[in-house]
Structure 1
Amino acid sequence: MARHQPAPADTREITTAAEVLARVRSYVNTFVVGQQRLQETLLIGLLTEGHVLLESVPGLAKTTAAASLAGAVSSSFARIQCTPDLLPSDIIGTQIFNSSANTFETKLGPVHAHIVLLDEINRSSAKTQSAMLEAMQERQTTIGGVRYDLPSPFLVMATQNPIEQEGTHPLPEAQLDRFMLKDLLAYPTPEEELEILTRMDAGVFETHPDPACTVEELRSMQESARHIYIDPAISRYIVELVWATRAAERVLGPKGSLIEAGASPRASIAFTRASRALALIRGRNYVIPEDVKDLAHRVLGHRIALTFEAIAEGVTATHLVTDILGRVRTP
């Protein structure tokens, strides 16, 4: 069956998107020093409504970056601090009895916002984490048997700390797969850290600039991202990368036995949507193989389940994705 794509985004759309994205980047750069890849990841999430998981040691501006991106868009924002005693109703909402009217009234939870920040998501219980599955995938919640649609656009940004594991609940594979991208943050350079101190002394982090983008402008950019052209050869390349995680022994040889389970077709969908958004961010109306390669670790890393042998040998998903990129032919 022939593939039908919408007409590629024209030069005007690319130029308009570039102007708005420049304003958003400028806003975020006010509060986040360096971390260019992190900013890129968040912009991709914003353009695709693809949920983003951020992981690093404490103090590397995960929460600041997510909150600043939300501030850059004139939309509703909610921050949920995840704790062991957090209940599903604390997130999605609940029904409250109104004694004066003798009826139950529905009180919607903080997840009913355009941009939601789940801070330290792995500190909440598995039951509470599961409450987010319907919201993240179906863009709706169910309270008292009634469905409530979430606003559009809707984006979840979650953070987690990989080194403090006491009292935490690792995210199950089903929920990890709901995140389009997972990014690992690195320490700032000495120059960037010095700039952080300089801005702190100048009171920059205490300012509240006006939003850089309206919801209408965001929707327009999202539509432009959907119109970015992706060649069938690149779509085939995406499928082969994802397929390699499932047929790892055939692609990687003995090292492939370290992968217990590969990525699902949701990874191919994430690759396609994210690569279109990345091309738009980089000022193009078409995707190139380098866009796909630059996204490989962020799309595949959290979708590869490793064997106990791999963990014992210190082999990570990052190593295996790098090997796969080296084995699959680039178009």
Structure 2
Amino acid sequence: MNSPDQGSATKGRPEAIKAVPVRHPGRWVGSVIVAVLVAMLIHALVFNKAFQWHVVGKYLFDSTIISGLVTTLELTALAMIMGVVGGVILAIMRLSPNPLLSGSAWVYIWLFRGTPVLVQLLLWEFMGSLWPRLSIGIPFGASFWSESTNQLIPVFTAALLGLGLNEAAYMAEIVRGGIQSVPQGQTEAAHALGMSQVQTTRRIILPQAMRVIIPPTGNETISMLKTTSLAYSISLVELLGAAHDIYSRTFQTIPLLIVASIWYLFLTSILTVIQYYIERYYARGANRVLPPTPLQRLRALFARRAPRPSEPDVVTGAQGGGHQ
């Protein structure tokens, strides 16, 4: 039997709230529209014979396509290395108190960001028309070494210079923004503890700035992968150029463009995964709970009950109640 005290406590307790889920008819309408569009897309891809999927499978691993793919990867990697190194140097110059250094960096960034990258590629390709020979020697005097510009700057080098120097201008602003995102007080505190400028930069500034620098740098790398297709305008046979060379002979334009698109999507997906793990690495110390990896997401998807990373643990009641 319940005691009188327990009965009075029960009578004074408010009734349980009957929570009714909020209905979202717009979500159902949107889901139906998306499902219909996806079904239409799948139907078009499967039953439209103009895609010629057998031709796509034939040329997907063709030697010409693979050769162009290798050129694209080489050009992307080298151009990004040049862009990152040049961007760091330009960012340091922009932050310098010396007006000559900061002004020169500003002019460089203004010039290379203000002109199309295709125009820069063409200028590097036809550099020989401005200076037929490049030489090293005394300014306005005798030269010790001279070489033909066309021999010194072949097609691949012209594409690398055009893409890499242009990327340096964008990376300079990304690096500068990342460095300036770190509060000045942390630098002053590090100097007060006796750290040198190099130690402060390596241990205090860069670990925090990288969280700001990595995401746009990953986007720039993915963008660079696709921007290399402009190199075909100066006769460099990369991935898209290889596809163009094939369909200009076979007149199978759509299948070869699909082949190039499949490889671009594949490489972009790999770069996206790499970027995710790098961002996750530098998120340590900034987030209490790291975002789940793709494998962890898959395990949580098929698990019976998997709490989200940001979901707090449910505290059980005093009488031993658990998850309902």
Q: Using structure 1 for the length normalisation, give the TM-score.
A: 0.31
Higher strand share: 1
- Name the structure with the higher helix share: 2
